[in-house]
Structures are given as C-alpha cells and as structure tokens.
C-alpha cells in the first residue's frame, strides 16, 4: 500500500490495570513508596496478565504525571519501562495534561497506532500527591495573572468548583451531596460484587513504624457516609460555600497502566480487545470554571464520530467535584441517578490521583462493556485543570446488536 492510500487502523484497549489508590500524606498507604515503583508494578502486572505479548513488539511507552519532578520525573515512560523489564529497544516518554495525563497518553499513542507508526504501546499515569503536592516547584509566568489572561482563582481547583456552583445556582450543595453519597454506595456495591478487584495490582508497602504490608484495596472509600454527615462538613474554599471534602475527590496517590494495539495486531498476537477507540476530543473553557470542560469535549467527540449522547450506553465521568459531574449531566439531559453513569462509583469514593485517573475510567468502562453486551458505545471523560476537558468514545467489542 502506498503512503497516499494508507488506511487508518482501528485501535483497541487490550488491558488496563491500576494500583489501589491511597490517601496522600504521612499516614497514607504509599507514604514511603516511590511513585515510579507504583508504575513499574502496574507494568509488570500488565505483562503477567498478557503473556501472548512479545515485549519487543512494544513500540513506545508514555507515562503521565502532573508534577514531573523527583520520582515522577526523568522521562518516566523510559525509566519505568526499563525497570519493568521491557527491552532496551523500547523507547519511552512523559506526558502532562494535568488530570487528563493518562487519558492523553492513551490518545497520543493511539493516534500513532492509527497512522501505522506503532503496533503495540503501553500508556500509564501516576500521581504521588503525598510526595509531590499539586503545584510543587512551579513558577507561573506572572503575566498570566497580571495581564488578566486567567482569573487568579483558576489556579485553585476547589475555587473553580465553587465558581461552577455560582454559574449554575440550581446545582445546589444538597444535590452535590446526594450525588457524592451515591458514588460511595456504588463503590461499596462494586466491591461487594467483585467488579473492582480484578484490575487492582497488589502493592508491597513499607512503613518505618509498622514494617511491610500489602495494599490490595482502595484506601479512600467511606462506605459509612450519610447525607447528614456530608451536610455538616466544612467548606474550605469559601465561607458558607458548597464544595466540601465529601462532595469532591481527595488528595491521592496511585498509578494506572494500559496496553493498546492495532486491532489487527491484537488479533495476530491473540490479545484481548476490551474496547475499540471510536473518537476523542479535547476542548478549552474559561480556566476559572474548568469543571465544565467535559461538555464541549464530549460534543466535539460525538460530532466527529457521527453520534449523539443518546447513542451512549455507558458513561465514565471523572468525579473531581460533584458539581462538575452535575453540570455535565444537566447539559446532556441526563438524570443525576441515571444508571448509565459511573455504574461502579467514581473518584469521590476511590480517589483521583490526578494524571493517573484517565486509565482508571477506561478500566471501569471495559468492565462495564464486558457485563453489558447490549451497550454499543461508551465514553470516558474528565475536566482538566487550567480550563480544559477531554473525552474518548469507545465501542464495545462484546456488543451483540441487541439494544437495551
């Protein structure tokens, strides 16, 4: 085939896995564990789970981190690949699009597969917010504020969520709390049903005080949450505000990873196909209301795919803040408790280690596809700091042609 007639190839998600997510800080499960070691553990598990993949067929590795210093720096895609045992011939790179880092690692590498530059790739994301708080070591150009390029509150994610409440006053604190409670309840049910555990990579953790242990489940969930308890929480970003620790994701540590391949190559090698990429899009919005970002990115992705929101049978939207999810649902006319949305719970319960979360959404969607052959299309979408949104539309390879 000549270069002028080259066809775009279909891309599939072969597999996705993650560490259990931990609470950031001195008492969190990963307080004495390196960020890069979390990535390495996930990569090794992906290799173990997919023995049909020859490691020398991996064409590139991309690992995302929002704070790319210390053990999250030094071109993490390359170093983590080497530490995971990938051949020296396998290159690597680092990616940063704040919360959508892992999502961007997937879309960047998938684009390479589509045009034939890659056959098989590994994407990942990590954030150790205990070791590297968001914004550590940054030096924003003063003109960004002085010349009013962005509102100063754009640099504080909690305040952007309060601004979203201001913009959409019908998105009340009570409604946000009710959504947050459902996230906790869905997560507890998903654990009880064994839907989350298969994609968790057990991590050996060290504590100077307690010795060695094994992290096997997410640390942040609070299944005992009640509406009364949520209503009583403080609003740290504004006096008498509406955003609390209960209706927002916490500060977390964790890593994710995924294998993607050209569908023809996956078939050749005998690899699974858990989801087929249909389209993706990123969009910018006013940075001070960054939570609305998934709306335009989803509209763009749907338009490019020739689909509407009515074609989407499963939705995985990152729960950075409950109000951000509610703004997305309202825009598309989806009920707060629609069963298509975050069926296994979300970041309000399990946590949001920034750059890693995009692949966590994909793992949840893949599990949903597996159990819902009546669903043809699903999306993974998230808001992104500094005023962006990112959305990927996926097709269910298990679709049986019988709509729900």
The helix/strand/coil state of 339 is coil
Catalytic residue among 128, 132, 165, 352: 352
Which residues are CB-neighbours of 287 under 8 A, at least 6 positions away? 150, 151, 154, 160, 386, 387
- Give the contacts of 72 (CB within 8 A, at least 6 positions apart): 35, 36, 65, 126, 127, 128, 131, 132
First to last CA, the chain: 40
How far apart are the C-alpha atoms of 336 and 174, rounded to whole Å?
Answer: 12
Q: Is 383 a catalytic residue?
A: yes
Nearest to 327 by CA among 107, 181, 187, 160: 160
Closest by Cα among 368, 27, 16, 39 to 219: 27
**240 catalytic residue (yes or no):** no
Could you give the CA distance from residue 24 to residue 399 in angstroms, rounded to a whole number?
39
Name residues whose C-beta falls within 8 Å of residue 206's C-beta, 6 or more positions apart in sequence. 32, 33, 212, 213
Selected catalytic residue, list 132, 170, 383, 398: 383
- Distance, in Å, from the CA atom of 212 to the CA atom of 14, rounded to the nearest integer, reads 33
Give yes or no: 398 in active site: no
Q: Write out the catalytic residue numbers.
A: 99, 352, 383
């Amino acid at each position: 085939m000549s270069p002028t007639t080259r066809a775009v190839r279909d891309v599939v998600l072969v597999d996705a896995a993650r560490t259990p997510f931990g609470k950031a800080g001195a008492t969190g499960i990963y307080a004495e564990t390196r960020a890069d070691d979390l990535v390495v553990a996930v990569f090794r598990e992906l290799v173990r789970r997919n023995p049909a993949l020859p490691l020398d067929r991996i064409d590139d590795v991309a690992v995302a981190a929002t704070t790319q210093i210390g053990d999250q720096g030094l071109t993490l895609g390359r170093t983590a690949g080497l530490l995971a045992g990938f051949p020296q011939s396998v290159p690597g790179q680092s990616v940063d699009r704040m919360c959508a880092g892992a999502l961007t690692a997937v879309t960047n590498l998938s684009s390479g597969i589509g045009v034939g530059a890659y056959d098989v790739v590994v994407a990942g994301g990590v954030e150790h917010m205990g070791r590297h708080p968001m914004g550590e070591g940054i030096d924003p150009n003063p003109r960004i504020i002085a010349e009013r390029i962005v509102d100063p509150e754009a640099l504080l994610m909690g305040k952007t969520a309060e601004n979203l409440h201001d913009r959409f006053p019908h998105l009340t604190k009570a409604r946000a709390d009710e959504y947050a409670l459902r996230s906790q309840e869905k997560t507890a049910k998903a654990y009880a049903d064994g839907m989350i555990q298969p994609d968790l990579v057990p991590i050996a953790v060290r504590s100077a005080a307690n010795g060695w242990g094994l992290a096997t489940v997410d640390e942040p969930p609070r299944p005992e949450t009640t509406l009364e308890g949520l209503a009583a929480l403080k609003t740290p970003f504004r006096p008498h505000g509406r955003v609390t620790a209960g209706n927002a994701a916490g500060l977390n540590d964790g890593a994710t990873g995924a294998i993607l391949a050209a569908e023809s190559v996956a078939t050749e090698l005998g690899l699974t196909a858990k989801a087929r990429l249909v389209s993706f899009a990123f969009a910018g919005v006013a940075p001070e209301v960054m939570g609305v970002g998934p709306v335009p990115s989803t509209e763009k992705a749907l338009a490019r795919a020739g689909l509407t929101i009515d074609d989407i049978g499963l939705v995985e939207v990152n729960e950075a803040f409950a109000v951000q999810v509610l703004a997305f649902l309202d825009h598309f006319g989806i009920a707060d408790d629609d069963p298509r949305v975050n069926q296994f719970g979300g970041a309000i319960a399990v946590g949001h280690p920034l750059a890693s979360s995009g692949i966590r959404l994909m793992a949840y969607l893949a599990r949903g596809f597996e159990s819902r052959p009546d669903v043809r299309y699903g999306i993974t979408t998230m808001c992104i700091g500094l005023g962006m949104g990112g959305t990927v539309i996926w097709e269910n390879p298990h679709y049986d042609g019988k709509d729900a």
